């Protein structure tokens, strides 16, 4: 079984990266566009980051949109009001989103179950209402406008990320680095400890594992990666919306993880691909596109408890 699993991973990884590297060239003939491919990667990264906490640590959160939105707003505000530099704005967005997650995680880490999930929603809604009401700074309900991603000056040359194609490969490179970091974390002793907490938290406590500390670190790491996605999302759209902070956005990340497979590393990216493509296509046909997304979710929960990635694993085993 282990040999089969290794062979499957050996084949799957190159195919996945080949699909992602060539996506801008085959998505357009299929009716898509390059920015849609970039959005798929960004939202997929956010879903994978959320699943780092939910699927691999066993802690439910419906508030990750807060740090996604914080990353987006901090990036946009930096470009608009502080420094006209894309790398600086990107790093500021990541730092603000991670700091928010670190502080909120410290406050709620002792909670468990539904109380933890509700606390994440409550704190997330605080950030949402700040962005929604602070019209003079955030643009309120109209969102934050008036900023654009700028070419990166390397001294000897300019890297023109204003091009949709170039920016796609920047996003793909960031996704690759983040995926490598997450995979390294999950394969480390710390990652195995997180899985032990997921399987049986009480037994982990009996083994003298500082459970609260591990959950807080996992929460912070998850918020870091979702803040990276939020900063990229602001640069992709040249816009930040209060909806990026709303709890339903967090629910979408969870939904993507469930559809793709929470126990699978790449499952959330697959779920995000299905969600983003279906949303883009169905919203142009009907205003009730969420009904069909919900139908997909219900069918997956009923027929594929391990998600779509779990179906592939079962067929290969």
What is the per-residue DSSP string for 86-145?
HHHHHHHHHHHHHHHHHHHHHHHTT--HHHHHHHHHHHHHHHHHHHHH-HHHH-GGG-B-
What's residue 6's pLDDT? 47
Q: What is the pLDDT along the chain (317 residues), one digit of tens a residue?
A: 444 544 455 467 788 899 999 999 999 888 889 999 999 999 999 999 999 999 999 999 999 999 999 999 999 999 999 999 999 999 999 999 999 999 999 999 999 889 999 999 999 999 999 999 999 999 988 999 989 999 887 777 778 899 999 999 999 999 999 999 999 999 999 999 999 999 988 898 888 889 999 999 999 999 999 999 999 999 999 999 999 999 999 999 999 999 998 888 999 999 999 999 988 888 888 888 888 888 888 888 888 878 887 776 655 44
In a domain, 65, yes or no: yes
Number of domains in the chain: 1
Supply the range of the domain harboring residue 195.
33-245
How many CB atoms sit inside 10 A of residue 35's CB? 15
Residue 6 is assigned to a structural domain of this protein: no
Is 212 within the bounds of a domain? yes
**217: region left, alpha or beta (phi > 0 left; psi from -120 to 50 alpha):** alpha
Q: Please report whether residue 146 resides in a domain.
A: yes
Instruction: Tell me, yes or no, whether 49 lies in a domain.
Output: yes
Residue bearing tokens 């959330």:
268
Task: Please give the model's pTM, rounded to 2 decimal places.
Answer: 0.92
Q: Does residue 221 lie in a domain region?
A: yes
Asked whether residue 308 is domain-assigned, the answer is: no
pLDDT of residue 297: 85
Predicted pLDDT of residue 117: 92
Domain contains 15 = no
């Amino acid at each position: 079984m282990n040999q089969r699993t290794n062979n499957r991973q050996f084949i799957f990884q190159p195919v996945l990266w080949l699909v992602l590297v060539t996506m801008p060239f085959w998505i357009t003939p299929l009716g898509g566009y390059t920015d849609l491919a970039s959005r798929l990667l960004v939202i997929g990264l956010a879903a994978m980051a959320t699943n780092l906490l939910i699927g691999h640590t066993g802690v439910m959160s419906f508030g990750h949109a807060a740090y996604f939105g914080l990353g987006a707003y901090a990036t946009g505000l930096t470009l608009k009001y502080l420094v006209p530099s894309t790398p600086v704005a990107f790093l500021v967005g990541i730092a603000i989103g991670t700091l928010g997650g670190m502080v909120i995680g410290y406050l709620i880490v002792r909670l468990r179950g539904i109380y933890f999930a509700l606390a994440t929603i409550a704190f997330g809604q605080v950030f949402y209402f700040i962005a929604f009401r602070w019209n003079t700074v955030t643009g309120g309900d109209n969102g934050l406008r008036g900023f654009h991603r700028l070419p990166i000056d390397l001294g000897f040359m300019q890297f023109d990320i204003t091009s949709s194609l170039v920016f796609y490969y920047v996003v793909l490179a960031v996704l690759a680095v983040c995926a490598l970091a997450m995979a390294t974390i999950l394969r480390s002793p710390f990652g195995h400890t997180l899985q032990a907490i997921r399987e049986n938290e009480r037994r982990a406590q009996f083994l003298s594992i500082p459970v609260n500390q591990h959950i807080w670190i996992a929460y912070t790491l998850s918020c870091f990666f979702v803040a990276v996605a939020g900063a990229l999302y602001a640069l992709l759209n040249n816009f930040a919306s209060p909806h990026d902070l709303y709890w339903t956005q967090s629910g979408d990340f969870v939904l993507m993880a469930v559809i793709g497979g929470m126990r699978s590393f790449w499952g959330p990216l697959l779920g995000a691909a299905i969600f983003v493509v279906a949303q883009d296509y169905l919203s142009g046909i009907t205003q009730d596109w969420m009904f069909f997304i919900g139908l997909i979710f219900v069918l997956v929960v009923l027929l594929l408890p391990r998600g779509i990635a779990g179906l592939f694993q079962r067929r290969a085993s």
